[in-house]
Amino acid sequence: MDELRTHHRTCPFCEATCGLQVQTRGREVVSVRGDADDVFSHGYICPKATALEYLAQDPDRLRTPMVRRDGVLTEATWEEALAEIDARLPAIIAEHGRDAVAIYMGNPGVHNLSGLLYNTVLLRALGSRNVYSASTVDQMPKQVSVGLMFGTMLSVPIPDVDRTDHLLVLGANPLVSNGSLLTAPDMRGRLRALRERGGKLVVVDPVHTRTAQIADEHHFVRPGADALLLFAMVNVLATEGRVDLGRLADHTAGVDVVTALAADFTPEAVASACGIPADTIRRMARELADAERAAVYGRVGSCTQEFGTLTSWLVDVLNVLTGNLDREGGAMFTLAAAGQRNSQGDRERPGRGKGVRFGRWASRVRGVPEVYGEFPAACLAEEIDTPGDGRVRALITIAGNPALSTPDAGRLDQAMRGLDLTICVDLYLNETTRHADVVLPVPDPLQRSHYDLAFAQLAVRNVANYSPAVLELADGMRHEWETMLRLAAIAGGQGADADLGALDEFVARTLIGLEQSVPGAPVAGRDPDELLAALAPRVGPERLLDLLLRVGPYGDHFGDRPDRLTLDRLLANPHGVDLGPLRPRIPEVLRTPSGMIELAPESIVADVARLRAALTRRSNGGMVLIGRRQLRSNNSWMHNLAPLVKGRDSCTMLVHPDDAARLGLVDGGFAKVSSTAGTVQVPVEVSDSIMLGVVSIPHGWGHDADGARMTVAAGHAGVNSNVLADGSQLDPLSGNAVLNGIPVEVAAI
C-alpha cells in the first residue's frame, strides 16, 4: 500500500487563498483540512475546501479530449483533437480574418498559473479583437475607476480590515463569498476582531445578509442607488467642512471638481431614490469622517449595476476625501511579491506611468469601446448571431461557462449553435462546453502547482505562498499551460506538432525582455542568456514565476540580493512567507501620467449626468431582481460535487413577505419571473431578510441542458438567472453587464 503523505497547498477556489493540509495515498486524496501553520489563514477554511477531494474523484470530470463526430462529442486522443483544431481553426482565420475567432476566459483562470501566464500567449498568437472574459460580468467597473485614478488596472485600494476602526461595506457579503478584491481568509474572524476593538461595521445592501447580521448597522438600499448615497456623503463632507485629505493633499488633483459635482446630490435629494433617510446619510458621512481610521469597500453589488464605475469611483473618492487612502487602517495598496504592475516601471521616475486608455477600438455590432483589450461579455452573442463582415465564427472558451454566467443567456446559447467551430478548455461537459466541437480537458487542481499571482496583489497583508502539485499528472492528461501553447502554435500557423520546449523558451525570453526594458529595472543590462540559465532547469509557469519573484520588490535580483525571494525560498516555506502588513505607498504606487491621484477623471465626470438624471426618475413601483452567492457554491461549476448540493435546493427566489402576500406567492410555491430578456419559473422563498420591491435569485444554476455531463448537478438543476439579464444594459464606461436591479414582473404560478 502507498504511504500516507501530507502536503501543504493553497486552496484554488476563491480569493481567500486559504492554506490547506492535504493528505494523499498514492493518487488518492484521503483528507483536506485547514493548515494551522499557514502564515495568512492560520487554519481557516470554508466548506468548499473539502470539495477538492470530490473533484479529484468525480467520474463526470473530463479525462480525455472530446471531438464531435457525426454530431456527437466522442472521446479522442490528444493527437486527434489537436489535428481537428489544426484542420479547422487556421482555415477560418485565413478565410475570415483573425477577428472571426472570439475568446472567452472565465473566472477559474485567475486562480490558475496557466491562465495567468499563458492565456496572454494564446491571445497574442490569435491576434483577435474579440476578447471577452468574466471581468465584464464582475469587477471591470472597479478596474476602470482605479485605472483612471491611480494608473493601473489592479491598483485597487484594499480595506485594511485588521487595523481599521470603521468599515463601510456596499454590495459585498464576505461572510458568504469569503471576500473579493479583498484577499483575507476568515473575514468573520477579522470583522469580529474589528468590533471587539471598538470599531464599527456598516453594511449597505438590499438584503440583510450574513455580513449584515454581524454588523453594527445595516441599511437597505435600492439596487443601483449606491452612487447616489455615496455622492450625498461627499456632499455632506464638502458642505460641513469635513474634507481632510491629510498627507494626500499634495498628491491629489480634482478635489474641487468632485465637491462641486456633489452639490446636486444632497442627502434630501437622494433619500427617496436610495431608500435611506437624509439624516441617516448625514450621520453615516460624519461617522466616516470622524473615525480615527476608516475604509469604504464595495464589491459585486456595487459593480454589476447601472452605475458600476461611478459607484466604484465614489468608494475611493470617499477614501481620499477622508484622508483614509493609503493610511494604516484605511484603504491601502498591497505590495505583492510578483507581477504587480504598480510596482514596476520607470525606477528613475517612480510614481508616474502611462496611465490607462480605453476605446482604442470598438465592437462591430454595438460600437462599444474596448476596455483593457476586452469587449463586454454581454456583446458576445450579438457578435456571433449578427450577419455581416467580421462576424464571429469560432469561439474558444477557457475556464468559462458564459452560457450560465453572462446576460441574455438564452440568446448566447442559441448563438453558439451557429458557430463554425467551438473549442473549450475545461474540466466538465457543461452548459457551455456541450456546444463544443473539440473539448480539451485540464488536470484536477491538485495535479498542478499554485501561486496566487492575482490575489496576492489584492491581499490585506503582503504574503507569498507557492504550492507544488499535490498529485501526479493523471495518465493521458496534459498540463493546461502546455495546451495553451499548443493552441497558440496552431493559431499562429505553426501546426499541431510545434516544438513546445522552444515555444516555452520564447515565452520566457519575451518576459525577460519585458522586465529588462524598463529604465532602472533590477536586471537591466544583464545578459538574457545568463538570466535564462539561472532559471534552469525550470520550465513552464515555474520558470516565469521564479523570474517574476526574483525581479519583484522582495526578489533576489538574480544574486544581487542573495538572501531575498526566489521560488526556491518559497518551496522551503510550505506555509507561505509573510512579508508584513500593508504600508503606505503614495506617491510611489501611482502610475498616472501626472503622477497625481486623479480624483476627477474626465470620462467619469461626464458620466455624472446620467446619475443626475436618475435623481428625478420616477420608479414605476415594479419589482427588481438582484443576485446572491451561496456558501457551498462557486459560480456555476461546483454543483456536481455531492456534499456541496446536498439538502434543500438553494436556487430559490427570495421575496419579502409583504410582496409575497400582494403577489399571491407562497413559500415553497413557484413564481414566474419575466424581464425584457426572458422568463424563468423558480421556487419561492419568503424571507424578511430582503427589501420590499426586490427579489433575489442566485446565478450559476440551470443544469438541465441536454448534452451536458454533470449528473449530480442535473439532480439539483435550478434555473439560469441570466436568462433574465438584458444584455443591452451596460455600465457605459466599463461595458460591465447590469446584473443587479433588473426590472421584472413576478407572478404566482
Ligand X SMILES: Nc1nc2c(c(=O)[nH]1)N[C@H]1C(S)=C(S)[C@@H](COP(=O)(O)OP(=O)(O)OC[C@H]3O[C@@H](n4cnc5c(=O)[nH]c(N)nc54)[C@H](O)[C@@H]3O)O[C@H]1N2
Segment near ligand X (CB under 6 A), from 168-176, 244-252, 314-322, 605-613?
168-176
The helix/strand/coil state of 410 is helix
> Which of 134/507 has CB closer to Mo ion?
134
Distance, CA of 552 to chain centre: 23
> Which of 122/535 has CB closer to ligand X?
122
To Mo ion, the closest distance from the beta carbon of 138 in angstroms equals 4
Q: How many CB atoms lie within 10 A of CB 70?
A: 5
Q: How far apart are CA 546 and CA 553, in angstroms?
A: 13
If you ran DSSP here, which 8-state letter would residue 168 be given? E
Site string for ligand X, 226-265 (x = CB under 6 A): x---------------------------------------
> Which of 156/204 has CB closer to ligand X?
204
Contact between 362 and 603 under an 8 Å Cβ cutoff? The reply is no
Q: How far apart are CA 294 and CA 233, in angstroms?
A: 14
The grid coordinates of residue 470 equal: 499535490
DSSP bridge partners of 25: 4, 28
Q: How far apart are CA 587 and CA 349, in angstroms?
A: 11
Under rule CB under 6 A, residue 16 binds ligand SF4: yes
DSSP bridge partners of 28: 25
To ligand SF4, the closest distance from the beta carbon of 178 in angstroms equals 4
Site string for ligand X, 172-211 (x = CB under 6 A): xxx-xxx-x-----------------------xxxx-x--
> Which of 110/548 has CB closer to Mo ion?
110
Position among 20, 336, 725, 746 found at the interface with ligand X (CB under 6 A): 725
To ligand SF4, the closest distance from the beta carbon of 48 in angstroms equals 4
- Partner whose binding site includes residue 627, from ligand X, Mo ion, ligand SF4, none (CB under 5 to 8 Å by kind): ligand X
Under rule CB under 6 A, residue 699 binds ligand X: yes
- Partner whose binding site includes residue 700, from ligand X, ligand SF4, Mo ion, none (CB under 5 to 8 Å by kind): ligand X
Rule CB under 5 A: which of 129-168 touch Mo ion? 138
Rule CB under 6 A: which of 28-57 touch ligand SF4? 45-46, 48-49
Under rule CB under 6 A, residue 13 binds ligand SF4: yes
- Partner whose binding site includes residue 467, from Mo ion, ligand SF4, ligand X, none (CB under 5 to 8 Å by kind): none
Q: How far apart are CA 158 and CA 47, in angstroms?
A: 25
With CB under 6 A as the rule, give the number of residues binding ligand X: 65
239: Cβ contacts below 8 Å, ≥ 6 apart: none
Q: How far apart are CA 555 and CA 531, in angstroms?
A: 14
Under rule CB under 6 A, residue 686 binds ligand SF4: no
| Max Cα-Cα span within the chain | 75
Phi, psi of 50 (to 5 degrees): -65, -15
Under rule CB under 6 A, residue 273 binds ligand X: no
Contact between 317 and 599 under an 8 Å Cβ cutoff? The reply is yes
404: Cβ contacts below 8 Å, ≥ 6 apart: 430, 431, 432, 636, 699, 700, 701, 702, 720, 722
Position among 7, 9, 14, 109 found at the interface with ligand SF4 (CB under 6 A): 14
> Which of 189/493 has CB closer to ligand SF4?
189
Under rule CB under 6 A, residue 623 binds ligand X: no
669: Cβ contacts below 8 Å, ≥ 6 apart: 683, 684, 748, 749
Q: How far apart are CA 578 and CA 335, in angstroms?
A: 12
The grid coordinates of residue 362 equal: 470598438
Distance, CA of 573 to chain centre: 28
To ligand SF4, the closest distance from the beta carbon of 14 in angstroms equals 3
To ligand X, the closest distance from the beta carbon of 180 in angstroms equals 4
Q: How far apart are CA 318 and CA 296, in angstroms?
A: 7
Site string for ligand SF4, 148-187 (x = CB under 6 A): ------------------------------x------x--
> Which of 21/130 has CB closer to ligand SF4?
21
Under rule CB under 6 A, residue 402 binds ligand X: yes
How many Cα atoms are found within 13 Å in the side-chain-facing hemisphere of 114?
26
> Which of 445/693 has CB closer to ligand X?
445
Under rule CB under 6 A, residue 18 binds ligand SF4: yes
- Residue appearing with cell numbers 501543504: 8
Contact between 126 and 395 under an 8 Å Cβ cutoff? The reply is no
Position among 259, 635, 675, 734 found at the interface with ligand X (CB under 6 A): 635
Segment near ligand X (CB under 6 A), from 80-88, 132-140, 411-419, 469-477?
132-140
394: Cβ contacts below 8 Å, ≥ 6 apart: 88, 89, 92, 100, 101, 102, 419, 420, 421, 422, 423
CA dihedral 143, 723, 361, 457 (to 10 degrees): 20
Q: How far apart are CA 219 and CA 224, in angstroms?
A: 14
Position among 40, 118, 428, 466 found at the interface with ligand X (CB under 6 A): 428
> Which of 401/465 has CB closer to ligand X?
401
Binding site for Mo ion (CB under 5 A): 138
Binding site for ligand SF4 (CB under 6 A): 11, 13-14, 16-18, 45-46, 48-49, 178, 185
Binding site for ligand X (CB under 6 A): 14, 106-108, 112, 134, 137-138, 170-174, 176-178, 180, 204-207, 209, 221, 223-224, 226, 299-302, 304-305, 398-402, 405, 425-428, 430, 442, 445, 480, 626-631, 633-637, 699-700, 721-722, 725, 739-741
